[in-house]
Structure formats: C-alpha cells, structure tokens
C-alpha cells in the first residue's frame, strides 16, 4: 500500500525542479487526485490540501473543485473526516467575506463568495445534502455543515429559505441543533436561525411550532437571563424575528404563556451607591433593547385590535407593565434604555383603559411624590433632556390619551379654574408652560399633546374654551385660544406655529363653538388669509406645511360654521376665500402637505420619530384628521362660493330662520346635556337600588337559614327523646349530654347570630324606608319568640334527661333480674353440652379397645358399635376410615 | 393558565372543506361564511377539560392548497393529533383522503391520533358522500369518524375533545413518550418535577430548567 502511494506521488506530486507550479496547476492536480484516487486516504489528503489552498486560491479552487467536492459529499458521506474537509473547503469558497489575497486582484468588495454560492445551490440537492449532514452528531461534520449553510444563507437568503422550507424536516433539523450540548454549535445555530427567519413568515411559523420559544427561553436562562452575554441577545433577536408582524406566532406566544416568562427579565439590577450605572453593562443595555422590542412587537399599533388588547391585558396581569414602570421611575437607567422603555409602556397602554388607569396611578418616588405622568411631562418640556427621550414621552402621553375619555377630561380639568388651587404641578400647567416657553420644540410638543386631549371629545373642546390665562399683572386675562392666535401672529419659529395650527385645527373640527370663538378673535382670519396669499409657490417644506395648515383651518371654519358670527358666516368666509385667494389656490394649499414624503411617513406610524429635532413638524393624528376632512372641507368651500349651484339646505335659510335654527340647536344641546345628566343620576339610583335589594335578599336568606336550623334542632330534640325511651343505656345518656352541650353551643351561636342580624337589621332600618322596618321588627319578634320557645324546649329536654336517668336505673335493675334468668338457661345449655362430650369420650374409648384387641372385622364391629350408640356423622366416618387404613398398613 | 397536558393538533384536508371554520368555531365559537384562503398555517388555542384535568390544545390550521403542501408537511412530525377533514358535499375531497392519509402516516410519528371528519353536515340536501362511506373508510384505516358542521357547531366540540380523549388514553396506556416533545405532547409546568429537557437524540444535556414559576 505504502509503495503504491509513493508511486502515485511520484507520478502526480513531484514538481519538475526549478519550475514552481502556479496555484491553478496545483489545484488542478489535487482535483484530479480527488476525483480519480481509489484510496480514501489519498482522497482525504487531496481534500485537505484543497482546503489549505482554498483561502489563497479561492477562485481556482472554486472553479475547478466544486464538482469534485460535491462528489465527495455524495460518495464519501460515510467518512466524517473527508466530508468535514470538503465542507470546510466549500465554506471558504462561499465565504461572504473578502480574503486578503483577493483584494489586490479582484477588489475589496468582490462577490466571489456569492457567485460560488449561486453555482453550488444550482443543484438543489446539494443544499439538501448539507442539511442531511446536520443530523450527523460528529463535530467534524456537523459544525462545517452548519457554517456552510450559514454562508449559503448569507449570500442567497431567499433561495436557501425556499430550499429549506420544502425539504422534509429541514427546519426541524436546524431546531434540534439548539439543544446540542456543544455551545459553539448551539450558538452558531442561533445565528443561522436568525438569518433563516428573516422575512419569511412560513419558516417563522414552523420554527415556532418546533418549540422554538421554549428552547430560546431555556438558552436565555442558561446564559444568565437579561444579564447574560451576546448569546442572550441572539436569542432575543431570534424571538423578535419570530414575532414581528407574524400574528399567528404572536397568538401562539400569548397562548403559550411566554409573556409571563419575559417579566422576570425586566427586574432591575440591584442598585449600588458608588456607581449607579454599574448594573448596566453595554451588553445588558443591548439585551434590554431587544427585550423591549419583543414587547413592542406584541402590542404594536396597527395589529389586530383583539390580539393587541389580549396581549396588553396579559402584560398588566403578569406584572410586566409594573416592571416597565419600575424602570421608568428608577434612577441610574441609561437614557436610551429609558427612551425605549417609555415607548414600550406607551404601546402597552395604548387604547386599553385599565392599563391607562394603571399608568395614571403610578407615583414617582420623588418628594413630594408626583404622578409618573407629571414627571414624564416635565422631561418633555425640558430643553436639556435628550430629544429622543422627549419624543418618546410625547408618544407615551399620546398613547395615554388615546381613546381615554377620562384621561382627556382630567387633563383639561387641571386647566380650568377650580376651587382649590393646588400647589402641586399638574399636567395641564406643564403643557401650558410648554406652550408658551421660548423653546419651539417644547411649544410643538405641548401643542400636540394638548390636541390629543381633544380627539373625538367635543365636550373637552368646549371646556378648553373656558380656560383663561393671566398674562401680565394689571391686564385682563385672555383665553387660551386668544393666546394661541397671538403666539401664531408673533414672529415665532415655524415649528411652534405648526404645533399651534395643529392644535387649532383639532380644536375647531366638529366644534362650532370653537369656530365661533376663533372667528371672534380679532385679526385671526386676516392672519390666515394674509399668510395664504403672501407667497404663491414655494419649495420650502416648512412654508408649504404652514400654508397647508392655514388653509385647512380656514376650511374647517367654513365647514363647521354655525353662522353665529355675523361677520364671518359660512357664506362670507367663502366669498373671502374666493376673492382673496381663489378657489384653486385654496385647494392647492390645503393639499400641499399630502404631496410631501413626511406626510405619508407620519401617517404610517403613530410614534413621532425624526432624527433631527427641527424635522419634527407633523403629528400622526393630525395627518389622519387632514386625510378624513380634506375632502369635505374643500367641498364645503366650493359649495359656499358657488351660491348658484345647489346650496345645502341650511344656507338657503333667511337670516332670521338661521338665527332660529341656531337657537333651536342651542336648546337641543342643552337638552342633550340634561338628558345625559339625568341618565347618569338614573343609573346611580338604579345601582343603589340593586345594592339594597341584594342586601335585603341576603338578610332574608340568612333568616330562613336560621329558621331551618331551628327546625332541624327541634326535630333532633324529638328524635332524641324517642330514642332515649326505646333503648336507654348509659352510653346514650353520655351521648345525649354531649349532644346537649353541642346544641347549647348552637343555640348560643344562633343567639349571637341573631344579635348580629338584629344589628344588621337596625343598620338596614336606617337606610331602608319605614315600611320595611315594621316587617323586620315583626321578623325579629318572631325570632325572639322562637328562641324563647327553643329555650323552653331545651329545659324540657333537660327534665326529660333526668327522668330518663331514673328510668335507666329502673331498667338496669330489670336487667339484673333478667340476667339471673339468662344464667339459668346458660347453665342448662352447658349441661347438655357436657353430656355430648362424654358420649364422644365413650366412643374414643371403644375404639381404643378395638385397637388393643385384634383387628379382625374391625369395620363391621365399628359400625355395629355406632349403630348401638345411634351416632353416625361424617367427621367420625373419616376418622374411622383413617384408622382403618392405619391398621391395614400395620398388618 | 396552568394545564396538566398540552396537545398539539393539526387540521389537514383539501382546500375549502372548512378547516379554518372548524377551528374558528372551536376557539371563538363563531362562524364566518366567507373566509380568506389560509396562507401556510394559522394558529389557534383553547383549554378543555378531560377526566377533571385541564388540557391545552394548540391547533395549527394548515393550508389545503397543493402549493403549500411541502410547507404543511413540516407540521406533521410534532403533532399528537390530526383532524383529517373532507366536505360531504364534494365527492372529490373524499376521494383525496387516501393521499392525505399516506402523507400523514409517512411524515408523522406513528402514534398520532387521526380523526376523520366529514364537514358541512348542515348541507344535507347537497350531500355527495354518504355517512356510511365515511364510517367505512374510517373503519378500514383505523380512524375515529365524525360528521360535523362548522356552521351550526354540531359535533365540533366533540371532534376536538374526542381526539384529545384518545390521546389522553394513549398517554395513560403509556403508548406516548410524554418527555419527547416531538410527539406533540407537553406536561404542564406544575405537573413535571423537572422541565422536559433536550431531545433524546442529541444526548445528555441536563439542567435546562425553564425558569417558570419560581
């Protein structure tokens, strides 16, 4: 063998002296050897050599050896070593990174690896084969197979995803790697799965089906949970891939109670005094980001409402929301973690009343303790806080107010002149402060936040009209709206103006009183028209937005106008627009926003997010408002400015009629409010009534219960007396005594309860009307009567017992007498038994006699004997036979 | 919610036989006359009680279309029970049962409980497959049989619960290895002294405690 090998080497291996072979030549020779050698060892050597060359001569090896390597995988699959080497070589060939040797010839960003990947996977069974090698437990095979798959996937993700998806148990094989005890395989498998699940819902679902979440949580806890290393982060990234946008998996996650398993991961690191940030290593911060992303994936706005609500409910119930709030209020949390956590809290509470209430009840550990929301808003209007943090607070506050009528009302309430001017800082004060601060970003934040208190809430829109502000000492107070319009007219930054305009647009929409208030403010309309007519065409984004919002505001003033301001009735405003701007210009202006990319971007997600503070211009909810109302507003203005074309019925009315109509409207509104109030009082009264009824019912049942017990007691008493008369004995007497004791207790108990009941009744009497009172008294009397009767019964019982005691004595005596009789009978009985025994003795005696005499005719003699004595019974028979046998042996 | 056991089910059968509707009726107790085609698979879950024990059913409703066949095959291995559904008003869905059954037997673990379901029993006037035929097929292949209506909810509960009962009995008999998660059965967190560890094939790696309750 050795000889043969060396011979082969001399044929193939020995290079001509002095002529260094090129890389390509060597590769060619090695490939040839790999393909043609009949010995496994030789092929193995060739493969090893190819592997060594595959980094430096990647192109050569790749172009020439691909088929040979494939062949190895197919033909030599039973030999772990050569398979491992072949796959290592393929790994190098398909590696996505650029090797140093290549940079010179092929540039730093060549796509050699990708091209070879393409060639390799062209034969789809090649990939399936690599997948099959994952099942081989040998490290030399499993690991390279895993690496090779990772490279292939990295270069051609879509193709490999499809191949794995359709290959039987493809995903299962990969999932099994997660339980491999060799960490390097498990960790690489995690990385591969992250790649594999990217953007493929079908694979995501299969991975989840294969118990991915269980295994991920197992790995996370093995690796030290949230404090663990990068492997934990990888686990979380995989989890995120499985959940984000995949409703089926989200549902599975929730149903599998995995949300509960997230909660302990959010426990805060123990605080140390010297360095509050010590618990927050960079890795922990990364893990935290991923954990928060996982949560947000489950409650992302825009998901199916039912599923989101269910997740939100679970998160509150399992303490996750509490844990998140703890992080919000803890000290020493890094700002970026805090920002993300605030956004997560935002989405966990969004549109969920009880979660919103929960956040409202969270108190910050400051002195004096303040509501968490107030503390959050303080940082929102604080210039010194990081921009992203302030954005996330706004988002959180918006989510807090989203579909939260109570929260909206409470916010506006803090602005209204109330009796008790509390010294503590309120949300409303903070927002007003922000609205009028010198920081345009604070203005914008506060205006938007305030506008969210008015969404779908016309009551609060009217309430907000009542807000008065004290400006300077000595000057009369102005309304909030006046102040807003004034700020708008002053030369403030555009960002501030946009904020105010969004607030005003929200305010006047669906609220004629607000329109009226706005129109009566001096120069408000003039400002809008002036701004709209100032520049015809502008490319400046901010200017376009400004004009667009002004046009919308003007349009809203037309659409929701109830003609209560004589100078600016619907008709007059429309004429004004027509004359000063022209209808087309107006339409252009109002649609200006929608043509910008920022509009569609803002419309996509409710979270305010821009990189630069100065880019923060539009609010999500405002964009929605614009989208809904743009059409109707334009139509209103059109109809209003063309009086010839069919006017809508309200505008055809004469001034006196419209005054009448508005008067009626006012009346209806008042009546509406009245009905609402009455309904409320009715409800509370009904509730009270229900409560009282249940109380009465409870009392009645307890009384009937007592009555029943009483009955049972009496029955028991009767039974007892009867029983005593029938079979009196010492034992029963004792028993009765015990029972009596018990009944006494019961009676005492009952008395106590009765007293309680009486107390209850007395209480009840106070609340109940007098008619019931007498009834209860009657009942009470009955009860007392019953009790007395029971007491009497009890005395009777006692008497009875003494009586029975004496009776018992009598019986005992009788028994003694009877006993004698019994003894006599017994003696007689004993005598008969004795006689019988004697007879048996006699029998035995006869037998012995026969034994001593010769045994002749033993049986017949015996029978004779028996006949003489007249006794034949089966046991004797057997004894007899036995003896007979013994005798026969004896002979 | 705690449970004693968790069973994984799959629902298979031709497209349009009412698989998704059966699931919706079982999990949400409602019927949706127009249902979109299922893409890949969809997940649903419900808790039931058998023998006084809480049992959680995790159900994967698969797409019936041929195009998804290779994807849905991935779900056979890990399932403890399968509902094989045909439409009593469409003969061809009954004719395809053999193919489905072969597929299921080939890719699933041998103990998987298969329940044959003739759906749309409310449409008796348009019936094309007799009840007896379904019964005969089930008998021949050792399946449990039932006719259901996802619309009227007739027998829907029973179909899912009887399958679970069958699995439960098999567990009691010791047929299922409940520690192997690939069988589609899991013991509830409070019922197992240690959480079920890794797979048998990959060898002993212990201590994988699912840090559940404490």
Spatial CB neighbours of A737, under 8 Å, sequence gap ≥ 6: A801
The span from the CA of A160 to the CA of A148, in Å, is 12
Stated as kind and residue range, the H or E segment containing B44 is strand B41-50
Quick count: other Cβ atoms within 10 Å of Cβ A624? 14
Instruction: Give pLDDT, residue A13.
Output: 52
Q: Residue A466: helix, strand or coil by DSSP?
A: coil
Contact criterion met (CB below 8 Å) for A404 and A457? no
Q: Which of B75, B198, B210 minimises the CB distance to A209?
A: B75
Instruction: Give pLDDT, residue B208.
Output: 38
Å from B107 to nearest chain A CA? 8
Contact criterion met (CB below 8 Å) for A598 and A693? no
Q: Which residue has the higher pLDDT, A437 or A846?
A: A437
Question: B177 pLDDT band (50/70/90 cuts)?
Answer: confident
Query: Please, which residues bridge with residue A479 across strands?
Result: A468
- In this predicted structure, which of A71-75, A201-205, A235-239, A854-858 has the lowest mean pLDDT? A854-858
Residue A868 pLDDT greater than 90, yes or no: no
Å from B70 to nearest chain A CA? 5
**pLDDT tens-place string over residues A782-797:** 888 888 888 888 888 8
Contact criterion met (CB below 8 Å) for A714 and A790? yes
- Model confidence, pTM: 0.71
Å from A447 to nearest chain B CA? 43
Contact criterion met (CB below 8 Å) for A349 and A321? yes
Instruction: Give pLDDT, residue A869.
Output: 55
The span from the CA of A145 to the CA of A133, in Å, is 6
**pLDDT tens-place string over residues A460-486:** 998 888 888 876 777 788 888 988 888
Q: Angle CA(B184)–CA(B187)–CA(B190) in degrees, nearest 5?
A: 155
The mean pLDDT value for A7-28 works out to: 61
From chain A, pick out residues whose CB is under 8 angstroms from the CB of B44.
251
Q: Do A211 and B181 touch (CB under 8 A)?
A: yes
Quick count: other Cβ atoms within 10 Å of Cβ A408? 22
Instruction: Give pLDDT, residue A11.
Output: 45
pLDDT > 70: percent of chain A: 85
B123 touching chain A per CB within 8 A: no
**pLDDT tens-place string over residues A571-589:** 888 888 888 888 888 888 8
Average pLDDT score over chain B: 85
Nearest Cα to Cα of residue A443 among A410, A490, A403 = A490
Taking CA–CA distances from B60, the nearest residue in chain A reads A209
pLDDT > 90: percent of chain B: 61
The mean pLDDT value for B134-141 works out to: 94
Contact criterion met (CB below 8 Å) for A171 and B74? yes
Q: Residue A435 is encoded by which pair of tokens?
A: 């609205």
Instruction: Give pLDDT, residue B138.
Output: 94
B175 touching chain A per CB within 8 A: no
Q: Which residue has the higher pLDDT, A170 or A355?
A: A355
Question: A313 pLDDT band (50/70/90 cuts)?
Answer: very high
Q: Which residue has the higher pLDDT, A805 or A4?
A: A805
Question: B202 pLDDT band (50/70/90 cuts)?
Answer: very low
Torsion of CA B98, B103, B106, B109, to 10 degrees: -100
**pLDDT tens-place string over residues A111-152:** 888 888 888 888 878 888 899 999 989 999 999 999 999 999
Q: Which of B56, B181, B209 minimises the CB distance to A221?
A: B209
**pLDDT tens-place string over residues A336-356:** 999 999 999 999 999 999 999
**pLDDT tens-place string over residues A252-261:** 999 988 999 9
Residue B14 pLDDT greater than 60, yes or no: yes
B103 touching chain A per CB within 8 A: no
Instruction: Give pLDDT, residue A96.
Output: 84
Q: How far is CA A503 from CA A231, A542, A549, A618, B134, in A?
A: 47, 17, 10, 11, 67
Taking CA–CA distances from B45, the nearest residue in chain A reads A255
Instruction: Give pLDDT, residue B209.
Output: 38
Query: Please, which residues bridge with residue A810 across strands?
Result: none
Q: Which residue has the higher pLDDT, A212 or A269?
A: A212
The span from the CA of B86 to the CA of B147, in Å, is 10
Q: How far is CA A401 from CA A131, A243, A397, A404, A608, in A?
A: 52, 27, 6, 5, 15
Taking CA–CA distances from B70, the nearest residue in chain A reads A166
Nearest Cα to Cα of residue A169 among B80, B113, B105, B71 = B71
B206 touching chain A per CB within 8 A: no
For residue A224, report the phi and psi dihedrals to the nearest 5 degrees. Answer: 100, 25
Instruction: Give pLDDT, residue A733.
Output: 63
Instruction: Give pLDDT, residue A271.
Output: 61
Taking CA–CA distances from A200, the nearest residue in chain B reads B40
Residue A187 pLDDT greater than 60, yes or no: yes
Q: Which of A168, A202, A214 minimises the CB distance to B107?
A: A168
Residue A6 pLDDT greater than 70, yes or no: no
Residue B195 pLDDT greater than 50, yes or no: no
Nearest Cα to Cα of residue B179 among B161, B194, B190 = B194
Quick count: other Cβ atoms within 10 Å of Cβ A405? 14
From chain A, pick out residues whose CB is under 8 angstroms from the CB of B78.
172, 209-211
Q: Do B74 and A218 touch (CB under 8 A)?
A: no
Residue A647 pLDDT greater than 80, yes or no: no
Residue B24 burial (C-beta neighbours within 10 Å; 0-12, 13-18, 19+): buried
Torsion of CA A96, A102, A106, A111, to 10 degrees: -10
Question: A18 pLDDT band (50/70/90 cuts)?
Answer: low
Contact criterion met (CB below 8 Å) for B112 and B77? no
**pLDDT tens-place string over residues A359-401:** 999 998 877 788 899 989 998 988 889 999 999 999 999 999 9
Question: A214 pLDDT band (50/70/90 cuts)?
Answer: very high
B212 touching chain A per CB within 8 A: yes
Residue A410 pLDDT greater than 50, yes or no: yes
User: Which residue, among A184, A207, A246, A255, would best test binding to B if mutated, counting the most B CBs under 10 Å from its CB?
Assistant: A255
The span from the CA of A487 to the CA of A504, in Å, is 12
Å from B180 to nearest chain A CA? 12
From chain A, pick out residues whose CB is under 8 angstroms from the CB of B76.
none
Helix ranges (H only) for A453-540 are 458-465, 480-489, 494-508, 512-520, 524-534
Q: Angle CA(B139)–CA(B145)–CA(B148) in degrees, nearest 5?
A: 155
CATH assignment, B5-187: 3.40.50.300
The span from the CA of A417 to the CA of A426, in Å, is 13
Query: Please, which residues bridge with residue B113 across strands?
Result: B81
Q: Hey, which of A856-865, B144-153, B178-187 has the most confident mean pLDDT?
A: B144-153
What's the N-to-C CA distance of chain A in angstroms? Answer: 96
**pLDDT tens-place string over residues A712-754:** 888 888 877 766 555 555 565 667 677 778 888 888 888 888 8
Instruction: Give pLDDT, residue B139.
Output: 94
From chain A, pick out residues whose CB is under 8 angstroms from the CB of B8.
209
Helix ranges (H only) for A330-426 are 335-349, 353-361, 372-380, 387-401, 405-415
Residue A735 burial (C-beta neighbours within 10 Å; 0-12, 13-18, 19+): middle
User: Half-sphere exposure of B154 toward its Cβ, with a 13 Å CA cutoff?
Assistant: 13
The span from the CA of A203 to the CA of A128, in Å, is 16
The mean pLDDT value for A24-45 works out to: 86
Å from B127 to nearest chain A CA? 34
CB pairs under 8 A between A and B: 90
Instruction: Give pLDDT, residue B206.
Output: 37
Spatial CB neighbours of A519, under 8 Å, sequence gap ≥ 6: A525, A557, A561, A565, A567, A568
Q: Which of B41, B58, B205 minimises the CB distance to A205?
A: B41
Residue B115 pLDDT greater than 60, yes or no: yes
Question: B178 pLDDT band (50/70/90 cuts)?
Answer: confident
User: Which residue, among B5, B74, B196, B200, would best test binding to A if mutated, counting the most A CBs under 10 Å from its CB?
Assistant: B74
Question: A170 pLDDT band (50/70/90 cuts)?
Answer: confident
Instruction: Give pLDDT, residue A738.
Output: 79
The span from the CA of A862 to the CA of A850, in Å, is 9
Instruction: Provide the pairing of β-strand A363-364 with B41-50.
Output: unpaired
Q: Hey, which of A226-230, A609-613, A813-817 has the most confident mean pLDDT?
A: A226-230
Q: Which of B42, B71, B202 minimises the CB distance to A176?
A: B202
Question: A15 pLDDT band (50/70/90 cuts)?
Answer: very low
Å from A221 to nearest chain B CA? 7
Stated as kind and residue range, the H or E segment containing A718 is helix A655-726
Q: How far is CA B81 from CA A89, A675, B70, B84, B182, in A?
A: 44, 58, 19, 10, 12
pLDDT > 90: percent of chain A: 29
Cα diameter, chain A: 161
Residue A679 burial (C-beta neighbours within 10 Å; 0-12, 13-18, 19+): exposed
Nearest Cα to Cα of residue A549 among A606, A596, A598, A591 = A591
B76 touching chain A per CB within 8 A: no
From chain B, pick out residues whose CB is under 8 angstroms from the CB of A183.
none
**Torsion A244-A248-A254-A258 (CA) sign:** negative
Nearest Cα to Cα of residue A231 among A191, A289, A171, A273 = A191
Instruction: Give pLDDT, residue A7.
Output: 44
Tell me the DSSP string of A320-337: HHHHHHHHHH-SS--HHH
Spatial CB neighbours of B74, under 8 Å, sequence gap ≥ 6: A165, A168, A169, A170, A171, A172, A206, A209
Residues, chain B: 214
Nearest Cα to Cα of residue A512 among A556, A468, A454, A481 = A556
Q: Residue A416 is encoded by which pair of tokens?
A: 């209204």
User: Which residue, among B11, B45, B202, B212, would best test binding to A if mutated, counting the most A CBs under 10 Å from its CB?
Assistant: B202
The span from the CA of A563 to the CA of A515, in Å, is 10
Q: Do A165 and B70 touch (CB under 8 A)?
A: yes
Q: Residue A691 is encoded by which pair of tokens?
A: 């409560």
Instruction: Give pLDDT, residue A723.
Output: 62
From chain A, pick out residues whose CB is under 8 angstroms from the CB of B45.
251-252, 255-256
Q: Residue A256: helix, strand or coil by DSSP?
A: coil
Spatial CB neighbours of A418, under 8 Å, sequence gap ≥ 6: none
């Amino acid at each position: 063998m050795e000889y043969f090998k060396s011979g082969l080497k001399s044929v193939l291996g020995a290079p001509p002296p002095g002529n260094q072979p090129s890389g390509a030549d060597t590769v060619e020779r090695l490939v040839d050897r790999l393909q043609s050698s009949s010995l496994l060892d030789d092929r193995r050597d060739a493969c090893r050599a190819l592997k060594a060359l595959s980094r430096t001569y990647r192109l050569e090896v790749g172009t020439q050896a691909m088929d040979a390597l494939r062949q190895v995988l197919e033909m030599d699959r039973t030999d772990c070593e050569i398979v491992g080497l072949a796959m290592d070589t393929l790994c190098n060939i398909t590696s996505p990174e650029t090797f140093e040797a290549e940079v010179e010839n092929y540039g730093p960003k060549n796509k050699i690896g990708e091209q070879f990947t393409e060639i390799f996977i062209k034969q789809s069974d090649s990939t399936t084969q690599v997948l099959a090698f994952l099942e081989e437990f040998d490290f030399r095979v499993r690991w390279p197979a895993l690496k090779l798959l990772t490279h292939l996937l990295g270069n051609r993700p879509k193709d490999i995803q499809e191949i794995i998806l359709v290959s039987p148990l493809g995903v299962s094989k990969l999932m099994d790697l997660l339980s491999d005890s060799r960490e390097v395989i498990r960790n690489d498998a995690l990385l591969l799965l992250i790649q594999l699940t990217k953007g493929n819902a079908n694979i995501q679902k299969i991975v989840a089906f294969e118990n991915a979440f269980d295994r991920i949580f197992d790995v996370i806890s093995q690796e030290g949970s949230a404090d663990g290393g990068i492997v934990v982060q990888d686990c979380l990234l995989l989890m995120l891939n499985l959940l984000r946008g995949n409703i089926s998996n989200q549902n599975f996650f929730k149903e599998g109670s995995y949300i509960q398993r997230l909660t302990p991961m959010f426990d805060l690191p123990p605080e140390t005094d010297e360095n509050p940030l010590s618990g927050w290593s960079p890795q922990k911060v990364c893990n935290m980001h991923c954990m928060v992303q996982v949560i947000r994936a489950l409650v992302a706005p825009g998901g199916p409402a039912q599923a989101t609500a269910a997740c939100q409910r679970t998160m509150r119930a399992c303490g996750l929301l509490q844990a998140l709030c703890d992080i919000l209020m803890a000290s020493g949390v890094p700002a970026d973690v805090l920002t993300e956590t605030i956004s997560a809290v935002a989405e966990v509470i969004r549109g969920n009343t009880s979660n919103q209430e929960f956040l409202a009840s969270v108190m910050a550990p400051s002195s004096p303790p303040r509501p968490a929301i107030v503390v959050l808003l303080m940082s929102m209007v604080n210039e010194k806080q990081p921009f992203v943090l302030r954005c996330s607070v706004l988002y959180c506050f918006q989510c807090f107010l989203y579909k939260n009528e109570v929260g909206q009302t409470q916010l506006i309430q803090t602005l209204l002149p109330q009796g008790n001017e509390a010294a503590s800082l309120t949300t409303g004060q903070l927002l007003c402060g922000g609205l009028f601060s010198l920081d345009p970003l604070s203005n914008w934040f506060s205006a938007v936040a305030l506008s969210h208190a008015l969404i779908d809430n016309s009551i609060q829109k009217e309430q907000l009209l009542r807000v008065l502000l004290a400006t300077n000492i000595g000057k009369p107070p102005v309304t909030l709206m006046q102040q807003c319009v004034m700020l708008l007219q002053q030369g403030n930054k555009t960002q501030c103006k946009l904020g105010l305009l969004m607030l005003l647009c929200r305010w006047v929409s669906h609220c004629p009183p607000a329109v009226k208030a706005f129109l009566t403010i001096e120069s408000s309309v003039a400002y809008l028209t002036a701004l709209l007519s100032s520049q015809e065409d502008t490319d400046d984004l901010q200017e376009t937005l400004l004009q667009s919002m002004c046009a919308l505001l003007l349009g809203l003033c037309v659409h929701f106008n109830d003609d209560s301001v004589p100078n600016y009735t619907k008709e007059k405003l429309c004429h004004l627009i027509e004359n000063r701007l022209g209808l087309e210009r107006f339409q252009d202006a109002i649609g200006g926003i929608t043509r910008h990319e920022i509009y569609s971007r803002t419309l996509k997600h409710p979270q305010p997010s821009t990189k630069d503070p100065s880019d923060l211009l539009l609010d999500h909810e405002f964009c929605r408002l614009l989208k809904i109302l743009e059409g109707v507003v334009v139509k209103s203005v059109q109809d209003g400015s063309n009086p010839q074309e069919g006017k809508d019925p309200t505008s055809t009315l004469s001034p006196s009629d419209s005054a009448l109509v508005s008067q009626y409207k006012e009346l209806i509104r008042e009546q509406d409010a009245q009905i609402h109030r009455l309904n409320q009082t009715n409800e509370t009264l009904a509730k009270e009534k229900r409560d009282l009824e249940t109380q009465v019912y409870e009392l009645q049942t307890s009384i009937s219960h007592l009555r029943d017990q009483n009955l049972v007691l009496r029955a028991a008493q009767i039974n007892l007396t009867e029983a005593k008369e029938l079979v009196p004995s010492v034992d029963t007497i004792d028993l009765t005594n015990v029972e009596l004791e018990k009944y006494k207790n019961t009676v005492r108990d009952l008395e106590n309860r009765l007293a309680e009941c009486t107390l209850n009744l007395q209480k009840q009497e106070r609340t109940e009307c007098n008619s019931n009172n007498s009834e209860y008294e009657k009942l009470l009397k009955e009860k007392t009567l019953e009790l007395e009767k029971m007491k009497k019964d009890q005395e009777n019982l006692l008497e009875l017992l003494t009586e029975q005691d004496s009776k018992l004595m009598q019986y005992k005596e009788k028994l003694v007498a009877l006993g004698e009789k019994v003894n006599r009978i017994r003696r007689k009985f004993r005598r008969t038994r004795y006689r019988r025994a004697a007879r048996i003795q006699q029998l035995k005696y006869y037998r012995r006699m026969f034994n001593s005499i010769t045994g002749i005719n033993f049986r017949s003699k015996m029978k004779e004997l028996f006949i003489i004595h007249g006794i034949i019974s089966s046991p004797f028979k057997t004894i007899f036979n036995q003896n007979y046998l013994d005798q026969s042996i004896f002979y | 919610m705690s449970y004693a056991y968790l069973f994984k089910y799959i629902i298979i059968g031709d497209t349009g036989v009412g698989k998704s509707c059966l699931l919706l009726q079982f999990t949400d107790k409602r019927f949706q006359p127009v249902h979109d085609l299922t893409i890949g698979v969809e997940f649903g879950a419900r808790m039931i009680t058998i023998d006084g024990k809480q049992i959680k059913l995790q159900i994967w409703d698969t797409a019936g279309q041929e195009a998804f066949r290779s994807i849905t095959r991935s779900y056979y291995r890990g399932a403890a029970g399968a509902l094989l559904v045909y439409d009593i008003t469409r003969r061809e869905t009954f004719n395809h049962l053999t193919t489905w059954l072969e597929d299921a037997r080939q890719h699933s673990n041998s103990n998987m409980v298969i329940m044959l379901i003739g759906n749309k029993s409310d449409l008796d006037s348009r019936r094309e497959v007799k009840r007896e035929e379904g019964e005969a097929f089930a008998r021949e292949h050792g399946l449990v049989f039932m006719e259901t209506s996802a619309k009227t909810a007739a027998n829907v509960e029973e179909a899912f619960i009887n399958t679970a009962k069958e699995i439960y009995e098999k567990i009691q008999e010791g047929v299922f290895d409940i520690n192997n998660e690939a069988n589609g059965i899991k013991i509830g967190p409070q019922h197992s002294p240690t959480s079920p560890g890794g797979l048998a094939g990959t060898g002993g790696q212990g201590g994988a405690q699912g840090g559940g309750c404490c």
